[in-house]
Amino acid sequence: MENENNINETEKKETVQELSITVPEKKKEKSELLGIYVMLSILLLAVTASIILSAVTLNTFMTKSAEVAAVSAEIDDEEHDESTTKENDVTIGGEYVIRSTENISDAYKSGDTSSLNDKDKETLDMAEKVLKEIIKDDMSEYEKEKAVYEWMVDNLGFDTGMLPVIPTTQADCDNPYGVLKYKNAVCVGYATTFRLFMQMMDIPCMVVHDTSEGHSWDLVQLDKNWYHTDIYSDQGNVKYVNFNMNDEMCEMSHDWDRTFFPAAESLKYNVIYNNAKEEKDIYNIPKLIKEALTKDEKYIALKLSSTISDTDATIAYQMVDYLNYSMQMTEKYMNYKLICNFAKLDEGYLFIVSISKISDESVNMTNLTEEQKKKLTESFNEAFGADGITFNLDDFINPYAQDYSDIADAATYPYENSVNESMGDESNDLVNP
Amino acid sequence: MKKIFWLILPVIMIFCISGCSEKEEKNISIYDLQKAVLEAGKDFPEMKTVNGSSEDAASLFTYLSDVEYEKVDAFFLSYAAEGESYEVAVVRMKENSDVKEMTDSLKAHVDDRINLYKNYEPEQVGRAEEADVFSEGKYAVLIMCDNKSDIKAAFENIINE
């Protein structure tokens, strides 16, 4: 019994000892486990917070993407709607709006101005005053149109304030009120004013705009045929070059929606065409240009014979381009600019070369500063020096000093011979025959 | 091993949380930026400049872009007074997510300018066609001039200061 008790005591002691050994270990293990649980909990919280933040950011991104997509779709719809061409309520150059003035012309024809506001009444009075001055009762529709064209070219200014990013054009430069009051206009002003005059005289007229909505001009109907007239482009340049053009002439420098605007197929009332000279030899063109320069004429207009091929017509165009370039390399002609237009006729071509002179005060190669000359020389030589083309500004200004003997045989470039022959002593002899 | 684990774990947690948030950018004064950039334009003709401080800035901004002005934090637009093809514009957006819209809008603006020059001042077309439009962070930038690289360098220098 005693032994059993001893054994029990021993066992108890052992158990207690085991327990006393186990408890600290277990406590240690427990505290470690607790630590792990705490850290894991913090980690879990951190990861959860990270996921939530990412989700919020992603949601914001998705929302904004959806907004952008919605706005883009709206814009696409609007653009689709706006792609349907119309004559009025079109904004040109992002700033100038083509607006109808039929209320004014209707009031003029009916004699009833009660529906007009004060501004429109004043517009009508100014337009009526012009018509009284320039229009005679016995004039044909063409003569009336030409009279208006000439009045506008002679009396209106050229507002270039539309060029800066934030335009500085005067108020109302895009409508007849401002044009007639201040005598200064952008293209929309010219086009809408011309249309007002035509409509007051019952001559059908539309304002045309180009496909990029950067420019506008007129289409006027005479004897059931439509003609393009761009008075703004003729202002300050050569008269009649853009007057009563057919589509072929107009498309040399304009583009428009031909599915909307009527076709212009006639040249019956085109001044240039009616005064053009017959020409059978394209190699006479430089001589004719030289004569025009001598007489200080503003253009030459030729009806190239039907015997002249399409290739020859293209060569003629290139010839003028070459001559323009060559002239600008001479002191005498460097301020002149040649612009060539040609349009296919039923037989042959109508070929027009307008001659304009840039202001003497403009920058040209003779009045550059030393710094500008140096930069010009360096930039040309850097770009083309390795190709064996050297650039020397003194030679550029004085081309006679250059040796062109290594340039290809003149026989390859017959039009350069005609250029050299016609320009005589002023020739820069770019090609030595 | 455990000690190393417990040391590394907080560091990982810090990265987890910090990776979710947007970096706060230091906003430079748009006027300082404008000044630094335009000083690099040595061959500029007479220029006019408008910015967010200008009277009616929201309305003036529409000559540059059709992006909603509320999305813009700050901007300046400098352009040739006589209409030549010299132009510098910097627009700082409020949100990074709007920068692409702004950049696209600046490209559209350049296209409009090219069309205008084609119709009225063909001599200006070449420079306009070479215009540079790019973005950096929250900034959308347009540079239209001869010495584009100098202007761009001036811009990058000041925003990276």
DSSP string, A145-171: HHHHHHHHHHH-EE--TTSSSS--PPT
Question: Under 8 Å CB-to-CB from B16, ≥6 apart: which residues?
Answer: A46, A47, A49, A50
The pLDDT value recorded for residue A153 is: 94
Total structural domains within chain A: 3
Residues 392-431 of A with CB under 8 A from B: none
Interface contact flag, B63 A165, Cβ < 8 Å:
yes
The verdict on residue A396 lying in a domain is: no
Domain identity same for A321 and A193:
no
Domain identity same for A176 and A220:
yes
The verdict on residue A376 lying in a domain is: no
Distance from CA of B98 to the nearest CA of A (A): 9
Question: What CATH number does residue A201 fall under?
Answer: 3.10.620
Quick check: A21 pLDDT over 90? no
The verdict on residue B14 lying in a domain is: no
Q: What average pLDDT does the structure give for chain B?
A: 88
Total structural domains within chain B: 1
Quick check: A77 pLDDT over 80? no
Q: What range does the domain containing A111 cover?
A: 90-268
Quick check: A334 pLDDT over 90? no
Domain identity same for A114 and A263:
yes
Domain identity same for A72 and A208:
no
Interface contact flag, B13 A46, Cβ < 8 Å:
yes
Q: What is the mean pLDDT of residues A250-262?
A: 93
The verdict on residue A324 lying in a domain is: yes
Confidence of residue A274 (pLDDT cuts 50, 70, 90): very high
Label residue A151 exposed, middle or buried (CB < 10 Å: 0-12, 13-18, 19+). Answer: middle
Q: What is the mean pLDDT of residues B143-152?
A: 94
Interface contact flag, B9 A49, Cβ < 8 Å:
no
d(CA A93, CA B142): 19
- pLDDT tens profile B116-141: 898 888 889 999 999 999 999 999 99
At residue A63's C-alpha, the angle toward residues A61 and A69, to 5°, is 100
Domain identity same for A291 and A331:
yes
- Name chain B contacts of A160, Cβ cutoff 8 Å: 82-83, 120
- pLDDT tens profile A158-210: 777 888 998 887 778 999 999 999 888 899 999 999 999 999 999 999 999 99
Residue bearing the bigger pLDDT, A135 or A252: A135
Residue B134, helix vs strand vs coil: strand
Quick check: B11 pLDDT over 50? yes
Q: Tell me which chain A residue has its CA closest to the CA of residue B50.
A: A166
- Name chain B contacts of A54, Cβ cutoff 8 Å: 20
A163-167, A417-421, B62-66, B125-129: least confidently modelled range:
A417-421
Strand partners, A355: A338
Residue bearing the bigger pLDDT, A166 or A72: A166
Quick check: A367 pLDDT over 70? no
Confidence of residue B89 (pLDDT cuts 50, 70, 90): very high
The pLDDT value recorded for residue A307 is: 87
Quick check: A71 pLDDT over 80? no
Q: What is the mean pLDDT of residues A355-371?
A: 63
Cite the DSSP H helix spans in A247-284: 247-250, 271-275
Quick check: A79 pLDDT over 60? no
The pLDDT value recorded for residue A55 is: 79
d(CA A381, CA A392): 9
- Residue pair B90/B80 in contact by the 8 Å Cβ criterion: no
Q: What is the mean pLDDT of residues A398-405?
A: 40
Token pair recorded at residue B85: 């093809």
Last residue of a domain, one of A221, A240, A268: A268
Kind of pairing between the strands at A184-185 and A157-158: parallel
Domain identity same for A263 and A281:
no
Domain identity same for A229 and A313:
no
How many other CB atoms sit within 10 Å of the CB of residue B68?
12
Question: Under 8 Å CB-to-CB from A306, ≥6 apart: which residues?
Answer: A347, A348
Residue A215, helix vs strand vs coil: coil
Question: Under 8 Å CB-to-CB from A16, ≥6 apart: which residues?
Answer: none
The verdict on residue B4 lying in a domain is: no
The verdict on residue A141 lying in a domain is: yes
The verdict on residue A9 lying in a domain is: no
Distances (CA, A) of A403 to A329, A334, A411: 15, 20, 18
Confidence of residue A419 (pLDDT cuts 50, 70, 90): low
Distance from CA of A320 to the nearest CA of B (A): 18
